[in-house]
A and B are shown apart, each in its own frame.
Chain A
Amino acid sequence: NSMKNKDNQSAQESNPRCPDSSAFKQQKLPAWKPKLTASTVLSSFFVIGLFCLLVGICLILSARSVNEIQIDYSDVCLNCSKLRESSSNWDKECNCFAHFTLQENMPGDIFMYYRLQNFYQNHRRYVLSRSDAQLLGQDVNIQNSYCAPFATYPNGTPMAPCGAIANSMFNDTVQLFYYVNSSTAIQVPLLKNGNSWWSDKNVKFRNPTSYNLSSAFAGTARPPYWQKPAYLLDEKDERNNGYINDDLIVWMRVSAFATFRNLYRRLSRTNQFADGLPAGNYTFHITYNFPVTKFQGKKQLVLSTITWSGGSNLFLGIAYTVSGAVIVLAGFVIAAIHLKRRKKKTYFQRHPK
């Protein structure tokens, strides 16, 4: 081979147009030529299959360890819903109650979600209908954004925050009461903070800067569906008010599908709730603001614990298990075919490759 190279070199000197004999140009780059052999593929089949089975079982186990309770209050609060349907009653307060009983203790971190059905947060124009610049606290002309028709009022006052997403924010207020005994109920302490992505809370949403929040929002108006302006979303906590209100942030992160659940509150593990929710009777006290009956929507409240693998959805675990089983099975079938063929081959010709 080296002789050949030498030849080529000398040839190159005498012949200026002689092509370069580099490995790339001669398409002789050293290469790994993987061959699909039955043994390697089959072994990888079994490995992958068993792995999938294992993961599937783990997922199922962990999903089953999740405690979850789901309370539908769309029927319970039908009256309120009716009331809200007509826009003339927008300022009338309507409360309703949903009772439930925990049979067992619910230990650990408890998360409270609201779940909406048939609510199209992934509608294209709905998704677009926001101004990230405005939510960043920047002074922008929202007229140019996609917020329309929820950008300004006819008199020119801009909405803060603008857009259809913000306008349709879930604004039911839910409080949870625990019946220590049949007559006395105490409010379960729930955390409003820390429910959103860290990056959303700290980067994506910023209040406009001013000496105080209400002046920052001066010259703007609340969205038409809101009862109160943005700077009053949480009057008690400065760090949870205005655009950086967790409820707003969570809502603004639109869902992928028409059925979704958003994190609403977390259990503050203090006093008797230090280990989670004890068994007993509970009541959700709901201030109803968010009508869903018109589009056959459903509203639920969910209390759930979580594990490393998330919540109670069994799908992934089952899917893994089934795939693993199928893969292992397929491995066996292929192995059978392969063995059968090889027997035939060796029978006909004993011949080294």
Chain B
Amino acid sequence: MEGEAPPLPTTKMATTSPPEDGCICLLCEARLPSTKMAAPPSPYPGSASSMSSQASLASYLNGNKKPLDFTWEVKANDRAYHKQFKKKAAFCLTREKYADNAIRTAKYNVLTFLPLNLYEQFHRLANLYFLFVILLQTIPEISTLPWFTLLLPLSCLLLIRGLRDLIDDIARHRSDWVINSTPCEILVGKSFRWQKWRDICVGDIVCLRKDSVVPADLLLLSSSEPSSLCYVETADIDGETNLKFRQALLATHQELVNEASMAAFDGKVTCEEPNSRMHSFIGTLEWRGQKYSLDSEKILLRGCRIRNTEVCYGLVIYAGFDSKIMKNCGKIKMKKTKLDRLMDRLVIIIFVMLAITSFCLAVGAGFWAVKFHKEHSYLSALYETTSPAEQAFFAFWGFMILLSIIIPMAMYITLEFIYMVNSCFIDWDVEMYYPANDTPAKARSTSLNDQLGQIEYVFSDKTGTLTQNIMTFKKCCINGIIYAGSADSEHKPSAAGLSWNPYADSKAEFHDPSLLEAVLRNDDPVTREFLRLLALCHTVMVEEKESQLVYQAASPDEEALVTAARNLGYVFLSRTQDTITLSELGTERTYGMLAMLDFNSVRKRMSVLVRDPEGKIRLYTKGADVVILERLCEDEPARAFTQLALDSFAEETLRTLCLACKEVAEEDYAEWCKKHHEASVLLENRAQELDKVYEEIEQDLQLLGATAIEDKLQDGVPETIQLLKQGNIKVWVLTGDKQETAVNIGFACHLLTDDMQILEEREICEMLEAYWVSNNNLGSSGEPLCPVQQQPSGLRQGKMALVVTGDFLERVLGTGEKVKTEEGFWARRACCKARMQPAAESLVEKAFVDLATSCQAVICCRVTPKQKALIVQLVKRHRKAITLAIGDGANDVNMIKTADIGVGISGQEGRQAVQCSNYALAQFCYLQRLLFVHGRWSYLRICKFLRYFFYKTFAGMMVQIWFAFYSGFTAQPLYEPWFLALYNVFYTAYPVLSMGLTEQDVSAKRSLQVPELYKVGQRNELFNYRVFCLTFLHGTATSLGSFFIALLAFRDEVSSKATNDYQAFAVTVATSAFLSVIVEIVMDIKFWTVLTFLTITGSFLFFCFFSFFTQNFLVFRAAPSYFRFPDASRVALTDPYILCIVLLSVVVNTLPALTVRLLRAITSAGAAREKVRARDTRVAEKTVELQTHFRRGSLLRRSSYAFSHKEGYADLITKGASLRIKGSRNRPSLGAISSQSLQLTTREDVITTIPSSPRIFLKEDN
């Protein structure tokens, strides 16, 4: 089209285009974040409202005429031109404006690693705080601890983390190098040469061959295919696996035919600066004095893969970091877990507590300073130069330093390690490995594991997540006879059975000998027509690969149907613009295609009008049963049988489709053809008019039969959902699919059961209205009504399920920005909304969430990606619950990013959902293991770890505070400095680490058997403020015990050696605290592996070794001021009296804890066992129930039809190469993809200045 249209006069372009461009661009920008753009077509014919809103939006945007600057100039084959431009970087440095194609994702290089990494590490508040404390320690007045006590642990932490960053960065360097050295063909001088990706510069011409990856954002110049088409797969960018086409300008396609002409090409592209809008591109190409407009349909984005195209050539527009995909590679937002936040808060609480304690102790120090100065002559010299206030001030900081060891500094790093290994356990789990496509599970973020044990809501996508997205032809009903196919694979036809059909696809699963027989007999016209229809009426593209036919379909349903026909001898061989060639039982027949009456969601059917080789015109229609059945001739004999068949198919949750055909008389066709032509050239209301014309001919059909396609569930989905339900996890299915399909799948995977009451829009409206009215009354009269929660309780008895659509949600939650004009409740709500301000809004929202969360199951269909995210947000906000979103496609990315935990289904290559997810699983059913085993264990481990870590810190270090009362508040440290330095790093770190790695309360098997155990995490039972307070008290008690037992025993004690000695006392208290803490973890660990034994032994050995080493005579002689406790432990701990003290401390400290544990075990064991037993019996019952209910007798839930909601290639096929206005009949489907095509349509139309306003097209599309 662009090629044919006369290039716009430059003058006109100059005068009119900037404001228009500005308008359009703003339009797309403004619409990007709105839901409207991504919203599915409203099933309510209230398009007037949306029209008006669009109009107002457009006028608003027209009023805002800000021209966009097109400052990105690319000259083909002119590297020097681009080099001259510079752009400002930081300060007065400049760098080249046009980036080269090498990407550098690595953070550091050899020189910058140290400073940058340290800078990053000190961004953490805790590290910075400790650095501050260490700096404080250099001041002698307040240096209560030797420098190494804090520096040693801190440098350990910095070192470990730095090493980790280094390893990560080396991996990034390596992957960058691999990417940048990918070979590609670049035009150098007069010919193409193989070079590397990193050599590509803006303005270069690149040659791409089949199946190669696009190295930069290119302007497609020409391709080997007719009509300058180029097919790309964008799986790496948006996860869509279906083919998309790009088309070059006709001018460039015709002119640039060989290397010489390419080398001579000197076009200049002017376009927007690099941006992150994946699906928008506006620019012009200036070549040979003419200007051509460019849009994103001519752009090959970096990361796409060329398919079905031999060779194509492109001009590099954006390279490297300027390319759209790189601009989109934002950092994944760091998610924090509930425990993380709690921990941060606790650390702050501890810090504040310490500050307060220090202050109080400092006040004490002030008073004592007066006393010391006046009375204690041996000390007064120390006080001569400072006043008591100064002394108190120094003491404050001294205590801050001394007590800073109570802040668990090593906790973060240990925790990180535990998180990391727990993530590795997920990666390593053989039972989450999917052998079919060699995919293990992958924990992509390593800091969310504990949250996996606290999930309350699971939001699941349907297609590709619950289902395999594989459609299999399961059954069919031809002329009232049901052919069911044999389920067992043994019965698969042998080579002999297939030999008659060289085209048969051996992978197809449907084999029915009786049908095959009937087909081969070839005596039943209905069967023949049935299969012919399957082979003719579709939009599948065919390609021959290694002498095998490969079908490319827009939806897997169609592929299944065509493949079924193929295996039954009706093989779709090829198609041209107006013919279709089949091989019918070995004979090739070519049908002329007269018209293709495409599918859309209102028509719910698709037809083709063909002229068979005999010259007869026939109409073949397939579609949803409701629409087909009402268009049949009056007396259709097979109708009743077919309906029965449809019912039975629906019972088995198969997707059904009715097939019908009729013969069209030549004159009828001629007449209709005229009408059709008239309608198709209409500029206004074309779609509606076309629909009307189509309707005319799709009448008086003859029913051929019905097909049943199974939307295959993934393995173990029903069981997993059952388990999730038992674990008190609510499963919401959010899908872009239709309501029928979604409900169908809901039943198939046991999310919905027959004993549930399914609430649909009408019921929900009533409930919400009742709720709202009562609240309104409450607001106006002040009368107390029933509590909010109980409002929609009329139907709350029994199980309920909620099924809503995206449009409904939009109206309830006001996710759209338009003003509603619907009648009834919504009108009232709308006008009241004005009066009632946002409070009403949030009330309705809350009511809806209350209702939805009280339901057993919720299914939201036809929701846009943004709405998916919004629903997750809603639950997060109103329920304060931990949410998990699982999905596989680009349309789930929003939801995955919003939820607390995002899970992507991996397996197929380059799925974007996986890129944004926190965990990647190959199958939905692995979710049960991820949550119930790994999640629960992680939560247990982290909680136990935290509890114990806080405990050991308090138990070990609080002693300092008590000692202050006996040392005149002078902040004298009690312990040996080395004990302090090593306590957290060597003495007590490893047992708790091993607990964090290997602890299990019950086995994996048991975890899955008793999903109720999961509730502990949901209720935050294992670590919360209460547990923290208890831990604090416990730790305090232990420290008090160790300190005061030693104190009282030391009082007036005379033994031959260690008498009242400070060092002996320090060693005694340290040993009793250390042993108490170790015994505590010995009691805490419930799962003793080799590692546990090793670490506990290791702790003792470390304690002995380091005590020996730091109290050695040699080191004392070498550095007496660092090793001040020579021989103290040996002397003290060989004294029987001191050993008795230590023993008593340990006994007194640990026996109460043991008693509590035992009492808890005694009192709870019976109850727990009882519960579990009750559950076991319940499970047994349930499985029985599952089986009995599998074939449910509901006849009302039929009519899920086997069309994907996506439009196929119908346009491309019927229009052939002359794609006039691409996508103008695009049904805006779900997701950004369709909305993007919507934008493109409008933009294209404006630029090519078709004499109509863009509004018309907007209207049409809605």
Contact = CB atoms under 8 A, between A and B. Distances in A.
Contact of B1053 (A15, A203, A310): A310
Nearest to B1135: A310
B1062 to A, nearest CB: 4
Contacts of B1127: 197, 199, 203-204
B1054 A260 contact: no
A220 B105 CA distance: 66
Interface in B697-723: none
B357 interface: no
A255 B430 contact: no
Interface string A24-63: 0111011111101110011001001000100100010000
A296 B1144 CA distance: 34
A282 interface: no
Interface in A127-173: 127, 129, 132-133, 136, 145-146, 149-150, 164, 167-168
A120 B967 contact: yes
Given A256-B1062, A261-B1054, A308-B1136, A123 B372 contact: yes
B1155 A330 contact: yes
Contact of A120 (B440, B968, B1065): B968
Contacts of B998: 27, 29, 31
A143 B852 CA distance: 77
Contacts of B116: none
A295 B377 contact: yes
B483 interface: no
Main secondary structure of the interface of B (DSSP, over half): helix
B1151 A124 contact: no
Given A120-B968, A123-B972, A52 B1048 contact: no
A52 B1147 contact: yes
Contacts of A111: 1054, 1056
Contacts of B1136: 308-309
Contact of B378 (A21, A126, A136, A323): A126
A306 B1054 contact: yes
A96 interface: no
A218 interface: no
A120 B1163 contact: no
B283 to A, nearest CB: 43
Nearest to B398: A124
B379 A41 contact: no
A263 B382 CA distance: 27
A25 B1147 contact: no
Nearest to B1049: A316
Contacts of A42: 1158
B848 to A, nearest CB: 42
A244 B1173 CA distance: 75
Contacts of B384: 149
Contacts of B1056: 111, 263, 306
Contact of B1126 (A125, A199, A291): A199
B1183 interface: no
Interface stretch (B494-502, B837-845, B1085-1093, B1210-1218): B1085-1093
Interface string B1033-1056: 000000000000101111111111
Interface centre among A8, A18, A30, A262 (most CB of B within 10 A): A18
A139 to B, nearest CB: 13
Interface stretch (B221-229, B336-344, B649-657, B1117-1125): B1117-1125
A332 interface: no
A6 interface: no
A240 interface: no
Interface in B45-96: none
B110 interface: no
A295 B373 CA distance: 10
B1059 A263 contact: yes
A125 B380 CA distance: 11
B936 to A, nearest CB: 12
Nearest to B964: A124
Interface string B1069-1096: 0000000000000000011111110000
Given A38-B1162, A122-B972, A255 B1062 contact: yes
B1137 interface: yes
Interface in B318-356: none
A221 interface: no
B1050 A257 contact: yes
Given A15-B435, A31-B1088, A316 B1144 contact: yes
B1087 A319 contact: no
Contacts of A31: 998, 1000, 1087-1089, 1092
B188 to A, nearest CB: 38
B1060 A25 contact: no
A294 interface: yes
A253 interface: yes
A235 interface: no
B438 interface: yes
A168 B378 contact: yes
Contacts of B1088: 31-34
B1137 to A, nearest CB: 4
Contacts of B1143: 55
Interface string A247-284: 00000011111111111000000000000000000000
Nearest to B966: A257
B1169 to A, nearest CB: 8
Interface stretch (A100-108, A184-192, A333-341): A333-341
9 contacts: A29-B1089, A31-B1087, A36-B1161, A113-B1059, A125-B382, A133-B1120, A309-B1137, A313-B1052, A353-B1169
Closest 7 CB pairs of A and B: A311-B1054, A132-B1120, A168-B378, A310-B1055, A256-B1065, A199-B1127, A124-B970
Interface of A: 8, 11, 15-21, 25-27, 29-34, 36-38, 41-42, 45, 48, 52, 55, 59, 68, 111, 113, 115, 119-127, 129, 132-133, 136, 145-146, 149-150, 164, 167-168, 197, 199, 203-204, 225, 253-263, 291, 294-296, 302, 304, 306, 308-313, 315-316, 319-320, 323, 327, 330, 334, 337-338, 341, 345, 351, 353
